[in-house]
Each structure stands twice: as C-alpha cells, then as structure tokens.
Amino acid sequence: MKTLEIPKDGLEGLKQNWRVDALSGFLVFLLALPLSLGIAKASEFPPAMGVLTAMIGGLVVSFFAGSRLTIKGPAAGLITICAGAVTEMGGGAQGWHLALGVIVVASLLQIVFGFLKFGALSDFFPHSAVHGMLAAIGLIIFSKQIHILLGIDPATLKGLEPIELFERIPDSILHEDFRVTFIGVVSLIIIFGLPLLKSKFLKRFPAPVFVLLITIPLAWIMDFKHTEPAFDIVHIGDFWSSIGINADFSMIGTFVFWKYVAMFLFVNSLESLLTVKAIDGLDPWKRISNPNKDLVAVGIGNTVSGMLGGLPMISEVARSSANISFGGRTRWANFFHGFFLLVAMLLFIPVIEMIPNTALAALLIAVGYRLASPNEFFKTYKIGSEQLVIFITTIIVTVATDLLIGVGAGVLMKFIFHIVNGAPLRSLFKARYERAENNGEYRVKVFDAAIFSNLIGYRKLFHSFQPGKKVQFNFSEARMVDHSFMEAFYHFQEEYQHNGGQVIATGFDNFRAFSNHPLAGRKYDPAKQTLIEIKLTPRQLALRKFSEEQGYTFYPQKIRSVLKYKDFPIEKGTHIRYEENLMEKYLEHGRITVSDITLTEGAGQAELHTPLTVVMVSELDQPIPDFALEPENLWSALSELTSGKDIDFANHPEFSKRYYLRSEAEESIRTFFSEPVLSFLENHEKIHMECHRNKLLLYKKRELLNTEEIQNLEKFTEDFLDVLTQKVSSPVAS
C-alpha cells in the first residue's frame, strides 16, 4: 500500500522505482511488439517501422512527456490515414517516403500547437463524434484485415474502398488458404477466449504474448517459410541500414499533401490528448498531466520518427492502461518499453520474421472490434438516444468519405440537437456565467447553455478556484446542459474534492434528463420535472426484499463515490465512479454498507468494467492500521515487486500460504493480526480485505453476489469484528 507516497520523477524516480517500471515496461513491450508490427503493415509502412516508432516513443519522448503513465507508440486509429497517404502519393516505397514528409510537417505544427497551449481544444469535440470516428476506423481496419487473415494477397486489395472491401469478403472466404486461416482463427480464439478464463494469473499477461507463443511454432511446424507466399510471413530485412533521412517533401505544394497534414494533425493530437486525460483518471496517485507539454513531446517524437521512416505516434490508450495494471509508476516504464524493443531489434529479428501475418491480422481485427463493438453502441445509447444518432452519423459519413468530413458531420449533428433542445445561439461558443466569492465560498450561476462548444470557457473557470474551498454551481438559469459538460464537471468535482474542496450542483429541479445515465445531458422543462422514474430490475427487487428481511435501508439509485474509496488498494489502477444498490444498517461495532460497485480498468475502447459487491464497515470503535489482504496466487510473486512485501507469520504457515498481506506499518500489523485473528482467517473461506483510515472493505470475489452470498459475507464480517473485540474466543470454521 504505497498509494499515499507520490513516486518521484526524473533520476530520483528511476532510482526509487526502477524494478517496478522495468517489469511493467517489459510486459508492455510484449504487448507493443506484435501490435507495432501489425499497425505498420496495415498502414502500408515497412513492418519494422512500427517498432522503430515505439522505440522512439519510449527512448526519446519519455524525457519530454507531460504525462507520467502513458505509453507512446503507433496507434490503430491512424492506420486509415497512413495507408491513405501512402496510396494517394503513389504507393510502395515512393508513397511511404512522401507520407513521411507529411508526418514531419504535421509534427512540427503539433509542436507549435503545444507551445500555443492548444491542448484544451480537444474539449471542443463531442465525445459521441470522437467515439464514432474511432468506431468507423475499427470497421475500416476490419474490412481489410479479414482478407489478410484468410490468406488473400494484399496486392489484390489495393485501391479498394472500405465498402468494396466488405463486399469482397464472401469471395475471399471462398478462396481462403486453409492453413493460413487456421492459424488466424486460432489467434482469434486466444484473443477473445483468454478473458473468459478464470485464471487470474493468465489474465495478467497480454493476449498477444500467447498468440506469438502459439502461432510462431505452428507456422514453423507447417513450414510457412517454404510452403506459403512471402506475403504470409513478416519480413524485416536489413532494418538498421534502412534507418536514415527517409522523409520526402517534394509534394509539399499539393492539396493531397496538406489534406493529410490536416488529418494527421487533427486525429493524432485529439487521440493523444484524450488518452492523457483518460489515463489521469486511472492514476493511483491522481497526478495531473500537462496536456500542452505532452503535445510538444509527442510532436518531437513524431518529427524524429517521420524523418527516420517511422509512423506517427500517440499516447496509446490500450498500452497505457496495461502499464497501470502492470504496476507502472513513472515515465521510466515508457522508457523501458522502448528499451526492450531496441533489444528485440538488435537480437531477435530472425524470430520476429517467423511471425505469420495472419496472426497480426487477428490482433488488428480484435483492435477493430474493440473500437466498433456492439458495446460501444449500447454505451452511447445509455447516455442518450441523441448521442447514438451523432455516433452513427459520424460512422456512416466517415466510412463513406473520410475522417475529417465524418467528424464534421458529427459535430454539425450535435449543434442541430442543441439548437432544437433550446440552447441559445449566443451561448454556442461563449460560456455565460456569473462568479462570486463570499466568506471563502465560491458561487457560480450558469446561464443559457453549458455544452461542448463553450466547454473551454468553463474549463478556465474550473482552474480559477483556489483549492480546499466550497464551490456551488447553480444551473436554474440555464436552458441546456449536455453530456460533454456533465462529464467535464464530474471530473472537476472529483479532482477538486480529492484536494480537500467541496463542489455542489443545484438548480436541476426543472430539467429533464435525456436518459437515466448519471452524466446524461438535460434540458429545461418546467412541465416535467426531473423526477426520474426508478424501474427496479429483478436484482434490485430481490435486494429490496432482502433488505426488508435483514433490517437494512435500501437505496437502488446510482450514487457518486468520489471520495469513499480514495486511497483504498482496490482503486489502484482502476476507477470507481459510482455505487448503487446500497444497503445500510448499524451493527454493534459500527455501520455496515453493502453496495454494488463497478471497477473501470483501462480507458476509451480499451475500457473494461468489473461489477462486484463489497461490504464497507465504518465508524469502528477501535483503531485498525492500514493494510491490504488478498488470497495468494501465482501473481503474488510479481506483486511483491509492484505492491510491497508479503508479511508472513512463522507460527501460522497456513495463513502465510493462503494470503498475501501488505502494509506500510509492519509492526502495527503484526500486533493487529493476533492469534485469534489469524486462526479465524485460517478457518474460513478466503476473503479480500482492505483497511484505510479505520474503514474496512471486504469482498469475496470480483463478481456480484446474490442475497445468500451477501448474507454469508455479512455473517463473516460480524464474526470477524467479534474476534477483533475478543468476543469470540474460538471461531467455528465455515
């Protein structure tokens, strides 16, 4: 439990955290190597240039970055732009060199944008349009990679638009190469099947690692090198001699050149800035990145990469999320990820050239699926039906035309919805509010509309408040508040309250929300006040009945939990926005709260949600030191490097074998875990238990519990509290 001590930066941070960051960097390297090869190949670049990009992102950009935990490298979201640039500029080596010139010019502009503090411009684009753009990219990736997975010659696909590629899928299935397809299907089974396994140890490792461990031997056994066409195997060639000044600027006076400069600059900057913001929300130490500094750093990396032959890089969301889950603490994790890629290109090129391209196609199909999965449509619809319309509009226009026109269509649709819903024209681009300060308390009255297009003004307002004070927002004079503002306001509220302040929102009594989602947009509607009808699910009906029988007070609504789980180990590398289905009552020893929470790991399209039921005991009479206790498994040996030493008890080998116990206060912990406590835990089913600031958090498993399991967990909690107060001298085994 080292969540309270913020890791040092710079050389001191390297000295303090090198073991943890090196381990995380190595695991991210295993994920980045195959993805970088696949992204480069799909982008019509030499495959190894994807690895070069990630190397530069780690070895160079780490020293300039404004974020601590993001991993820099090539991204699937830029595949369509890179491939389009290469194709429109002549294709092959010529198109590659000319596309590099585009990347360098766009990167230099990106550096200028960073110095001009344009990082806040990412707030202007509505989330539904951005997610629609990414979903469209996912569909475009799938439209080409499905043919590669089936063993079709990529040369026969050149020049085809996404819709034409979809139309050719039946023909490719009829002409598939069975041996190539077999390895591709095995890869897909691994990628989509691994998360379904119960083994927590296996889930910790990136699926691409298992894909390579299985498909390389399969391709060797099938002798792909001699029996399959050259396009079915990764080709690196003389990598080191191909690195040089490769950028060609001879088309700088053409429309095509500047069209792709605009595309690279827009999508690259937007994706990178959104990732930085999302990863800040997962940072266990809640550090705030400098988006403008990070934009400059990415621009520097892109300039170097483009000159030498690499792809444009961003702060990549999937690898950055993985870095957090692997225990990365500082920017050195990104550096080590680049270092291990360098070692791989120095020593293991012969092994890399044994990778079948169908396996890389499977990895990219999985990326495309995450970008455009049915869950993305459902999540968007839950926020509001108008968000789904914007999302789908962006997808259709992007697939039919290009990215810039697609995003423009999404933004235009958003404006139409806002005007129809009552947003005054005068406030579309101007934040209109009154701000007053009295007796150390800020009061803000919001007028007209608080929406995505004037969010930059409200961001400046958020940053103007001194920490540790009370801030009250009154929305009674507003007519429209959209989802983008609600999400930004939530993040401000969370950050401000984490730093000791208080944020209150009032004036929504006469607003109608567009959905039951807590961050849904809403408009002024005095005829229908915002009393959202609560329709209980079967689970909530069962919990309500259970509450009545067991003497609990039951609250089915979602409730924000901004501070409740702050600094608990369960929130390390995850985010807990809300809890719902709360059941509360008082025991003899304190207050017990049972609730359903959702752990959010990753961000964007790499976001994973894990619902579970937890018990929290507060208002305890006796002091308890901070600790974290969890069942021991194969991952615990690695956890000791990232989360602290396992505290064992020589007189209780069974407890030491069953549990991984960590704490900053080992002496106090050895006193607290007395003979009765250790015996109790040895004779009951394994449990996850955490304590922070004299509050106990317990859960059985990372799943929702039924009423019988909740009753058993409550009984366990009561018996454990009895042991602490010496009221149970010889606990009975369950």
| Distance separating alpha carbons of residues 179 and 339, to the nearest angstrom | 35
Using 50, 70 and 90 to split pLDDT, how confident is the model at 534?
A: low
Using 50, 70 and 90 to split pLDDT, how confident is the model at 594?
A: very high
Query: Is 4's pLDDT higher than 60?
Result: no
Contacts of 153 (CB under 8 A, 6+ apart): 229, 231
Mean pLDDT calculated for residue range 259-272: 93
Beta pairing, strands 608-618 & 627-631: unpaired
Percent of the chain with pLDDT over 70: 94
Query: Is 655's pLDDT higher than 70?
Result: yes
* DSSP letters for 288-314: ---HHHHHHHHHHHHHHHHHHT----E
pLDDT at 643: 61
Lowest-confidence segment of 273-282, 315-324, 633-642, 656-665 by average pLDDT: 633-642
Using 50, 70 and 90 to split pLDDT, how confident is the model at 351?
A: very high
| Distance separating alpha carbons of residues 675 and 715, to the nearest angstrom | 20
pLDDT at 321: 86
pLDDT at 537: 86
Using 50, 70 and 90 to split pLDDT, how confident is the model at 61?
A: very high
Mean pLDDT calculated for residue range 255-268: 95
> What does pLDDT average to over the chain?
89
| Distance separating alpha carbons of residues 672 and 720, to the nearest angstrom | 13
Mean pLDDT calculated for residue range 544-554: 93
Judge whether 354 and 233 are in contact, CB under 8 Å. yes
Using 50, 70 and 90 to split pLDDT, how confident is the model at 601?
A: confident
Half-sphere exposure of 654 (CA within 13 A, CB side): 11
Query: Is 52's pLDDT higher than 60?
Result: yes
Phi, psi at 616, each rounded to 5°? -120, 130
Query: What pLDDT, in 10s, does the model give residues 518-533?
Result: 788 999 987 754 444 4
Between 510 and 733, residue with greater pLDDT:
510
Phi, psi at 655, each rounded to 5°? -65, -45
pLDDT at 642: 58
Tokens 């939530």, residue located: 490
pLDDT at 731: 42
Query: Is 713's pLDDT higher than 90?
Result: yes
pLDDT at 125: 82
Using 50, 70 and 90 to split pLDDT, how confident is the model at 176?
A: very high
pLDDT at 24: 92
Using 50, 70 and 90 to split pLDDT, how confident is the model at 637?
A: low
| Distance separating alpha carbons of residues 49 and 187, to the nearest angstrom | 23
Query: What pLDDT, in 10s, does the model give residues 225-239?
Result: 999 999 999 999 889
Tokens 């030491």, residue located: 656
Q: Classify 481 as helix, strand or coil.
A: strand
Mean pLDDT calculated for residue range 114-134: 85
Query: Is 605's pLDDT higher than 80?
Result: no
Q: How far are the Cα atoms of 24, 32, 209, 328 from residue 321, in angstroms, in the given order?
A: 11, 12, 17, 10
Q: Classify 579 as helix, strand or coil.
A: strand
DSSP 483: H
What does the angle CA 78 – CA 82 – CA 85 come to, to the nearest 5 degrees? 140
Using 50, 70 and 90 to split pLDDT, how confident is the model at 6?
A: confident
Query: Is 582's pLDDT higher than 70?
Result: yes
* DSSP letters for 602-631: S-GGG-EEEEEEEEEEES-SS----EEEEE
pLDDT at 194: 87
Range picked from 201-215, 490-504, 640-654, 690-704 for highest mean pLDDT: 690-704
For residue 185, give both structure tokens.
């299907």
Rg, C-alpha atoms of the chain: 27
Query: Is 635's pLDDT higher than 80?
Result: no
Using 50, 70 and 90 to split pLDDT, how confident is the model at 734?
A: very low
Mean pLDDT calculated for residue range 470-499: 90
pLDDT at 638: 58
pLDDT at 641: 57
Using 50, 70 and 90 to split pLDDT, how confident is the model at 263?
A: very high
Domain ranges of the chain: 10-409, 430-524, 538-724
Using 50, 70 and 90 to split pLDDT, how confident is the model at 727?
A: low
| Distance separating alpha carbons of residues 631 and 682, to the nearest angstrom | 11
| Distance separating alpha carbons of residues 518 and 528, to the nearest angstrom | 18
Contacts of 108 (CB under 8 A, 6+ apart): 299, 303
Lowest-confidence segment of 331-335, 505-509, 576-580 by average pLDDT: 576-580
Tokens 């992102």, residue located: 57
Query: Is 12's pLDDT higher than 80?
Result: yes
pLDDT at 170: 96
| Distance separating alpha carbons of residues 653 and 649, to the nearest angstrom | 7
Mean pLDDT calculated for residue range 705-709: 95
Percent of the chain with pLDDT over 90: 66
Query: Is 621's pLDDT higher than 90?
Result: no
Query: What pLDDT, in 10s, does the model give residues 187-210?
Result: 999 999 988 887 766 766 788 989
Q: Which CATH class is domain 430-524?
A: alpha beta
Mean pLDDT calculated for residue range 438-451: 94
Mean pLDDT calculated for residue range 459-478: 93
Query: Is 711's pLDDT higher than 60?
Result: yes
DSSP 517: S
Range picked from 105-119, 189-203, 529-543 for highest mean pLDDT: 105-119
Q: If we measure between CA atoms, which residue out of 201, 26, 151, 171 comes closest to residue 631?
A: 201
pLDDT at 401: 86
pLDDT at 474: 95
Lowest-confidence segment of 57-71, 147-161, 246-260, 561-575 by average pLDDT: 561-575
Judge whether 658 and 684 are in contact, CB under 8 Å. no
Contacts of 63 (CB under 8 A, 6+ apart): 331, 335
Q: Classify 73 as helix, strand or coil.
A: strand
pLDDT at 247: 97
Judge whether 158 and 87 are in contact, CB under 8 Å. yes
